[in-house]
Amino acid sequence: MRFDDLILPVGEYPTGACENKQEWLLMYSRGVPAAVIAAWCRVDVRRVHRTIDKQINRHPEWFDRCWRIHDQPAPARNMRRYVRTREQAWWEHYGDVAAYMRERGGALPAQNDSAEARVLYRWIEAQRRQQDAGTLAQDRVDALDRLGEWIGTRKGDPEKLWTQRLEGVRQFQANTGRYPYYDPDRHPDEKVLAVWLGRQRTWWRKGQLRADRQERLDSHLRGWLGK
């Protein structure tokens, strides 16, 4: 087969936007910047950023893998490849945030300040989510506390909100005889409870659910893990 045989006639090239968000995420995870993805797929770059942000919210560990690809320069050809551990990567990111804040009089990186600030902002958000879930190691909390007020404005007390969600699921199960499950066509309140319960199950499977929270779930929600 000749190379010319692979070239499509002008009228047969795909037109319109590529709306497949899984392809956007795949390209981003391979190191393609969001702006380039938007150009290739002929979509608004803000949509790509929103899709990436949602994926990060659902899977913070996915962002950790992407960070290494987007943030680190390629090693020189004459140097042995250096593979960082997750612990080393965390402290390097922490150092980047600390340096950024020192240069700006203690100001936290904001999402719209610059490309550099956006990356640092996302990393801090990942730490906030882990702190809310109770899975952020104490030595990391202490280090972040030394930076200043890093938690920012949260939507209420995480512990109080967790307790409210637990009670909401308990009442739902008592009233319906079943646990909530996610369905786009169902009532919004059930979707919220289903997402919350799903996260507890995910943290339990990963061994990241706090012992005190598991005890409360076992006590109040019999069979909450499902089959």
Task: Find the mean pLDDT for residues 198-216.
Answer: 85
How far apart are alpha carbons 114 and 111 in whole angstroms?
Answer: 7
The CB-side HSE value for 217 (13 A sphere, CA atoms) comes to: 21
Per the CB < 8 A criterion, the answer to whether 86 and 78 are in contact is: no
Q: Tell me if 225 is assigned to some domain.
A: no
Per the CB < 8 A criterion, the answer to whether 35 and 45 are in contact is: yes
Residue 210's pLDDT band (boundaries 50, 70, 90)? confident
Q: Tell me if 3 is assigned to some domain.
A: no
DSSP one-letter string for 131-145 = HHHT-S-HHHHHHHH
Q: Tell me if 100 is assigned to some domain.
A: yes
Q: Tell me if 67 is assigned to some domain.
A: no
Instruction: Give the range of the structural domain holding residue 23, as residue numbers without chain letter.
Output: 17-58
Taking the model in full, what pTM does it have?
Answer: 0.41
Burial bucket for residue 123 (CB in 10 Å: 0-12, 13-18, 19+): buried
Residue 170's pLDDT band (boundaries 50, 70, 90)? very high
Does 133 lie in the same domain as 183?
A: no
CATH code for the domain of 34: 1.10.10
Q: Tell me if 7 is assigned to some domain.
A: no
The residue among 152, 175, 195 that closes a domain is: 152
Question: Torsion-angle region of residue 152: left (phi > 0), alpha (psi -120 to 50) or beta?
Answer: left
Does 135 lie in the same domain as 90?
A: yes
For the chain, what is the domain count? 3
Task: Find the mean pLDDT for residues 33-61.
Answer: 80
Residue 67's pLDDT band (boundaries 50, 70, 90)? low
Contacts of residue 227, Cβ cutoff 8 Å, sequence gap at least 6: none
Does 215 lie in the same domain as 171?
A: yes
Q: Tell me if 125 is assigned to some domain.
A: yes
Burial bucket for residue 196 (CB in 10 Å: 0-12, 13-18, 19+): middle
- For CA atoms 160, 128, 139, 215, the dihedral sign is positive
Task: Find the mean pLDDT for residues 161-187.
Answer: 85
- For CA atoms 81, 82, 85, 86, the dihedral sign is negative
pLDDT value of position 219? 92
The residue among 108, 132, 152 that closes a domain is: 152
Contacts of residue 153, Cβ cutoff 8 Å, sequence gap at least 6: none
Does 131 lie in the same domain as 175?
A: no
Does 216 lie in the same domain as 165?
A: yes
CB atoms within 10 A of CB 169: 22
Q: Tell me if 77 is assigned to some domain.
A: no
Does 193 lie in the same domain as 215?
A: yes
